[in-house]
Amino acid sequence: MKGFGFAAHGGMDRLAYVDVPVPLPGPDEVRVRVGAAAFNRLDRFTLEGIPGVPVALPHILGSDGAGTVDEVGEGVRDLDRDAKVLLNPGMWDGTCPACRAGREALCRNYRILGEHVQGSVAPFVVVPRRNVHPLPDRMTFAEGAAAPLVFLTAWRALKTVGEVRPGDRVAVVGAGGGIPTAAVQVAKLLGATVAVAARSPLKEAKTRALGADAFLAFSEERPLDRVLWEWSEKNGVDVILDSVGAPTLPRSVRALARAGRAVVIGASAGPKVELDVRTLFWRQASVRGSTMSSRAEFDEVLGHLASGRLRAVIDSTFPFEKAAEAFRRFDAPDLFGKIVVLGPTN
Ligand SMILES: [Zn+2]
């Protein structure tokens, strides 16, 4: 079959359709016929090559997917062929101490679909049975592909790691990507007052339509910490979700309230930062890291997607043949939400 990915690491010019055998489901695995897949920023890092993460080449991208059950491996008896499903992109071994304690996100062998193993932008994808969930009735394949990674990430980062409580002030740094569109909804669901801070004011209307209480444009003249500080009426922000890294994290930390939490879920603009730690001890604030989710967190997210309280935001949907064009949408200044690629037979 032809999947979309790369045969050698590098830039966007390496993106290609690659030939791989149709994958066979092993014991306790399921082969899914892909109805839709979605891209994440992670795909770009995987393409470039992540230090310490060896990838078998050629590699198929895509951490998110939804489709129908095509074939099941030995030991799988509770799934009907052609059942509509969506995929949990996080894979854990189920045997290490963290997994046995129900803290799968901390698994020492944690892997991500499309990063460590062949991904979903293909006719078929094989995943462990426990990564396959019924697609909620209200969701299309495109929505089922758009939702999982960004919502499970936002959920764990804000609820579990950020400990957002009703009435907290929460700020999300960056607008328009899949994570901010998920994080605004999750923070509102948790009862917070939510601001989105971004350099460009272009996405204000769409961000507010998702439920954000404020949209803060920042610049050299009006830096991030200042707009956050003013928004919080000089109390500081309780939880700040920062996936940008170098250019923003030091200023995010400066805007924290007493006992505030800056939750780092990525470093899209650079990983090395210099922090004034006096803010941390004097305000008893903290910088915390979060990634992906545990099984129970995924189940919570799925429940909210099924009830319609959380909704995937789709920027655009492309046919399989235009996957490279879809990938380039990441650089579009008007990007808002997830980039979806339909399966080749859709
Ligand atoms: Zn484990």
For residue 102, the CA-to-ligand 1 centroid distance in Å is 9
- Cα(185) to ligand 1 centroid in Å equals 29
Compute the distance between CA of residue 148 and CA of residue 120 in angstroms, rounded to an integer: 13
Q: What spacing in Å lies between the alpha carbon of 25 and ligand 1's midpoint?
A: 21
Q: What is d(CA 217, CA 202) in angstroms, rounded to the nearest whole number?
A: 9
66 C-alpha to center of ligand 1: Å?
25
Q: Cα separation of 143 and 306, whole Å?
A: 11
Q: Output the pLDDT for position 158.
A: 98
pLDDT at 154: 98
* Residue 197 and residue 218 in contact, taking contact as beta carbons nearer than 8 Å: yes
Q: How far is the CA of 97 from the centre of ligand 1 (A)?
A: 7
Give residue 105 CA to ligand 1 midpoint distance, Å. Answer: 8
Residue 345 pLDDT: 77
Instruction: Give the per-residue pLDDT at 346.
Output: 60
Task: State the pLDDT at residue 185.
Answer: 98
Q: Give me ligand 1 centre to Cα 109, in Å.
A: 6
Are the beta carbons of 152 and 131 closer than 8 angstroms? no
Averaged pLDDT, groups of 10, the chain, 346 residues long: 97 97 98 98 95 93 98 97 98 97 97 97 98 97 98 98 98 95 98 97 96 97 98 98 95 98 94 94 98 97 98 98 97 96 86
**Contact call for residues 5 and 121 (beta carbons, < 8 A):** yes
**CA dihedral for 181, 131, 288, 102, sign (positive or negative):** positive
